[in-house]
Amino acid sequence: MSHQHAAAGPGSLADLLRAAGRDPLAAELQRALRERCGVGAGSSLLVGCSGGPDSVALTVLLAALSRRRTPFVGSLRVVHVDHGLRPESAAEADDVRRLGARLELPVEVHRVEVPTGPGHNVAEAAREVRYAQLSEAAVHHGCDGILTAHHAEDRFETMVHALCRGAGVDGLAQPRWVRSLGNARLMRPLLAISRVALRDFCERLDLPFLDAPDNRDPGTVRGFLREEVLPRLESRWPGAGVRASAAADRLAVAADVLQQALDPHFGPSHPLEWDRSLLRTLGPDLTATGWRQVLLRLASDDGVLDGGVGSTRLMEAARAACDEVPDPRSFDFGSNRLLRIDSARARILREA
């Protein structure tokens, strides 16, 4: 079961907002909204609130920014998505309603159905349903952006998992500060702030919050990283999560530059064939990276998760395309995709 950290809280709303607005996290949040997320003063925002310490802290800080003498945030709405996956989920939704009432903010609770049968990744399905609800609500209310409480350690977890999966530079740069979400913009303004700082904020202001057991289950990837791996890294190198998040920003720059180099030769509009003279100029590393993107894009178009794209096989094919051997060679990448190299060209074909 999830459990609640109960607290009395400052006596009045004015006291709470004053304390939150004076906290250093408020200035850090406002700076991230403006500089990282492109939020202008007076924007209409929607915040997704689970009731955990991270989203409670974000919601209260945003409320403080919206009630300043010169408000940075224009209007603010709170949305909670009740996945109905635990018996206590309805009570957790009520806790978010109480938080909204205390802050005098409009709150919407969306109860959804999450596929849980065999073959379903429940966490992934819940995330997709949740984001769909947030996007629809933002569009319905004409909000300029959706805010979620992903923080530095969330990014660190994503990076470690991406490294273990052999992801490329773009995978190591996730999540980004801003991305599109349906017809809305999803923003994560807490990526430079640690989980500990957000929990400390809630405790300093006596804000009640919930700890969901899902986040601590070592049987899940996230739970294992959160409970078994990252704490040991943080104990050895305090502040590692915040520094890793800063590294992700630098990786995002590298990923964007790489994409600009790849798009003219491997972008969606490029034919699925290449002169070997061009590939020799690009070199095998860039060629393999470009082909990986092409094969993953084709697999996605076909409804296949990964298309069997292995790094070793890709490098073997890229080196073959960049060498001077004229003999024809073929490389099978599964999902009916074949990369064929002849004396002058390399082509990706669909097998009959």
138 and 10 within one domain: yes
- Whether residue 45 is contained in a domain is answered as yes
Mean pLDDT along residues 238-265: 96
Domain that holds residue 342: 268-350
- Whether residue 256 is contained in a domain is answered as no
- Whether residue 262 is contained in a domain is answered as no
280 and 235 within one domain: no
Per-residue pLDDT tens over the stretch 285-308: 999 999 999 998 888 887 665 555
154 and 81 within one domain: yes
142 and 103 within one domain: yes
292 and 241 within one domain: no
Per-residue pLDDT tens over the stretch 74-106: 999 999 999 988 889 999 999 999 999 999 999
CB contact at 8 A, 190 and 335: no
317 and 206 within one domain: no
- Whether residue 233 is contained in a domain is answered as yes
188 and 43 within one domain: yes
The neighbouring-strand residues paired with 109 are 80
pLDDT over 80 at 68, yes or no: yes
Domain end, chosen from 246, 281, 316, is at 246
User: Backbone phi, then psi, for 30, in 5-degree steps?
Assistant: -60, -40
Burial track 57-94 (b if 16+ CB lie within 10 A, e otherwise)? bbbbbbbbbbbeeeebbebbbbbbbbbeeeeebeebbe
- Whether residue 255 is contained in a domain is answered as no
178 and 114 within one domain: yes
pLDDT at 308: 56
pLDDT at 304: 64
Mean pLDDT along residues 267-295: 95
pLDDT over 60 at 240, yes or no: yes
pLDDT at 85: 85
Ranges 26-30, 131-135, 158-162, 293-297: which has the least confidence: 293-297
287 and 217 within one domain: no
Number of domains in the chain: 2
Per-residue pLDDT tens over the stretch 203-238: 999 999 998 766 677 888 888 999 999 999 999 999
182 and 310 within one domain: no
Domain CATH code at residue 232: 3.40.50.620
pLDDT at 39: 95
CB contact at 8 A, 129 and 114: yes
Domain end, chosen from 182, 212, 246, is at 246
- Whether residue 314 is contained in a domain is answered as yes
184 and 302 within one domain: no
- Whether residue 60 is contained in a domain is answered as yes
Per-residue pLDDT tens over the stretch 41-52: 999 999 999 999
- Whether residue 258 is contained in a domain is answered as no
